[in-house]
Amino acid sequence: MSKTAIVIGSGFAGLSSAAYLAKYGFNVKLFEKNEQFGGRARILEENGFKFDMGPSWYWMPEVFDNFFADFGKKTSDFYELKRLEPSYKVFFSENEQISLPSNLDDIYALFESYETGSADKLREFLEEAQYRYEIALRKMIPKPSLSVFEFIDLEIIGGLLQCDLFNSFRSYSEKHFKNIMLRSIVEFPILFLGATAKETPALYSMMNHADMALGTWYPMGGMNEIIKGFVKVCENLGVEMYSSSPVKKINVIDGLADTVSVKGLEVNADVVLAGADYAHVEKDLLIEEYQSYSQDYWNSRVMAPSGLIYYLGTNVKIPALEHHNLFFDESLDEHSREIYKEPQWPTRPLFYVSCTSRTDPSVAPEGHENLFILMPVASGLLNDNEALRESYFNLIMDRLERLCKQNIRDHIVYKKTYAHSDFIQDYNAFKGNAYGLANTLKQTAVLKPRVKSKRVHNLYYAGQLTVPGPGIPPSIISGEIVAKEIAHRYSK
């Protein structure tokens, strides 16, 4: 008879693991606390606007292709992908704005126009980035990281030695480029790792291969279309999916998870896979005796940032905006210090604006614009309140209007804000984090919270607080790694 696997949470990690576990012959039951499946990639539909609530950048398309291919499907069975041109626009000041072309030759020409010799430097930089990407994606990221011995492989060790593992990304980028705007462009993808260029190993230049060579894509209809595809894959495999079903407790007998408590019922489990926030599962669903990590351990982790988000609908078009827009008109180092070193509400924050209606007419009424504005902030800031959200809204609007040379405020017809307390309430997010655990050197691979519980023998974890790390592609891979680990154990 099939073993029963219970999956907690329906983010990318939970859905991915549920699909693989079903493929490996488990009888899978998935419980999601929210009404909608998708976790941080849920959708908000109001007044004719369709907002992706979380992720908006579709990078590393092969990870999505590989997932669907493992189930005999293609991405095009679920959504139409479009490569964005330009990939994104960076606003440095009223007069200095750079749009990054999607074509590599155009990117080389752009770099050369700002700094003589930088096209060749970029070529060299991207060759290394591609090598690192290949080693990381094929050899390192798919490891469950339960033991350092998994990494004793000549190709990995050889690769790591060539990867400037102990050199920071900042010194690596400074070695290549002098122009501050070009450096900001090559350092920007590091923000996806939830850490700063100074704290991140140069190894992560693989992200620049993802950015400049593999490109920025968009699934028409929005990022939530990917979730719909994942849900269909799970349903086709017979996964029992329950929304509005928060798991309240994992009941352990003799070191084994026996049942989970959901909606007043005790549901039997042979194995439990938690795709919900790791710290929440440990602290809130297990009694202390069965927790692998202490409160002090969690408090000492470097969390990736949280975010103060505005979902806005406007009744005018904003021609200065592209699909993705980075507002780097203030100091990134200063903002980073206020996120990581001395966590506080930022003084002069950078922010990001996604305007999906530039590409997709289905996300806003005709003649309107759909804006998602994100200001990264430290996780764990307690005084998240309406007055503060409103004061940052005014600060951002002043800059947005000045840099876009257009009145926007008077044309807002829909507005919703979202920050720490919402992340905690909606996702049980530790310290209200948006992106999980930062990918610093001390929190990489075996140094991350383990995918297998140390105290409960049939309890596993997937998602952005464990390996490989934050972001959609890592979360999808995380679900696959853990499902394989479980299947391997139960096949013995």
434 binds ligand FAD (CB under 6 A): yes
Of 186 and 424, the one with the shorter C-beta distance to ligand FAD is: 424
397: tokens are 């609007």
Smallest CA-to-CA distance from 323 within 162, 485, 83 is with: 83
241 binds ligand FAD (CB under 6 A): no
208 binds ligand FAD (CB under 6 A): no
Contact range with ligand FAD by CB under 6 A, out of 249-257, 329-337, 381-389, 467-475: 467-475
406 by DSSP, 3-state: which?
Answer: coil
Spatial separation of the C-alpha atoms in residues 300 and 123, rounded to whole Å: 39
Under the phi-then-psi rule, with left for phi > 0, alpha for psi from -120 to 50, and beta for the rest, what region is 11? beta
247 binds ligand FAD (CB under 6 A): yes
Which CA distances in Å does 85 have to 79, 99, 351, 352, 358?
19, 9, 21, 17, 11
Spatial separation of the C-alpha atoms in residues 469 and 348, rounded to whole Å: 28
Q: Give the residue, chosen from 26, 31, 217, 310, that forms a contact with ligand FAD under the rule CB under 6 A.
A: 31
Q: Give the residue, chosen from 40, 368, 448, 452, that forms a contact with ligand FAD under the rule CB under 6 A.
A: 40
Of 56 and 184, the one with the shorter C-beta distance to ligand FAD is: 56
Smallest CA-to-CA distance from 1 within 452, 485, 490 is with: 490
CB atoms within 10 A of CB 477: 25
Secondary structure percentages of the chain, helix, strand, coil, to 5: 45, 20, 35
Of 185 and 374, the one with the shorter C-beta distance to ligand FAD is: 374
Q: Give the residue, chosen from 170, 336, 464, 477, that forms a contact with ligand FAD under the rule CB under 6 A.
A: 464
26 binds ligand FAD (CB under 6 A): no
Of 370 and 464, the one with the shorter C-beta distance to ligand FAD is: 464
Preceding peptide of 468 cis, ω within 30°: yes
CB atoms within 10 A of CB 397: 17
Contact range with ligand FAD by CB under 6 A, out of 167-175, 275-283, 409-417, 451-459: 275-283
* Dihedrals phi, psi of 379, to nearest 5 degrees: -70, 150
229: tokens are 């595809």
Of 160 and 424, the one with the shorter C-beta distance to ligand FAD is: 424
Smallest CA-to-CA distance from 13 within 461, 490, 422 is with: 461
Spatial separation of the C-alpha atoms in residues 160 and 166, rounded to whole Å: 10
Residues between 329 and 388 that touch ligand FAD (CB under 6 A)? 374
Min dist. Cβ of residue 115 to ligand FAD (A): 28
Q: Which runs of consecutive H residues, i.e. helices, occur in 12-117? A: 12-23, 61-69, 104-114
Is beta strand 459-461 parallel, antiparallel or unpaired with respect to 271-274? parallel
Spatial separation of the C-alpha atoms in residues 428 and 423, rounded to whole Å: 7
Min dist. Cβ of residue 57 to ligand FAD (A): 3
Binding mask 299-318 for ligand FAD (x = CB under 6 A): --------x-x---------
194 binds ligand FAD (CB under 6 A): no
Pair 468, 338: CB distance under 8 Å: no
* Dihedrals phi, psi of 195, to nearest 5 degrees: -145, 175
449 binds ligand FAD (CB under 6 A): no
189 binds ligand FAD (CB under 6 A): no
Of 35 and 296, the one with the shorter C-beta distance to ligand FAD is: 35
54 binds ligand FAD (CB under 6 A): yes
Contact range with ligand FAD by CB under 6 A, out of 132-140, 429-437, 438-446, 451-459: 429-437
Of 193 and 203, the one with the shorter C-beta distance to ligand FAD is: 193
275 binds ligand FAD (CB under 6 A): yes
Q: Give the residue, chosen from 177, 217, 298, 427, that forms a contact with ligand FAD under the rule CB under 6 A.
A: 427
39 binds ligand FAD (CB under 6 A): yes
Of 314 and 464, the one with the shorter C-beta distance to ligand FAD is: 464
Preceding peptide of 86 cis, ω within 30°: yes
Of 98 and 374, the one with the shorter C-beta distance to ligand FAD is: 374
Contact range with ligand FAD by CB under 6 A, out of 49-57, 126-134, 203-211, 333-341: 49-57
Is beta strand 369-377 parallel, antiparallel or unpaired with respect to 351-355? antiparallel
Residues lying near ligand FAD in the complex (CB under 6 A): 8-14, 31-34, 39-41, 54-57, 246-247, 275-277, 280, 307, 309, 374, 427-428, 434-436, 463-464, 470-472, 475
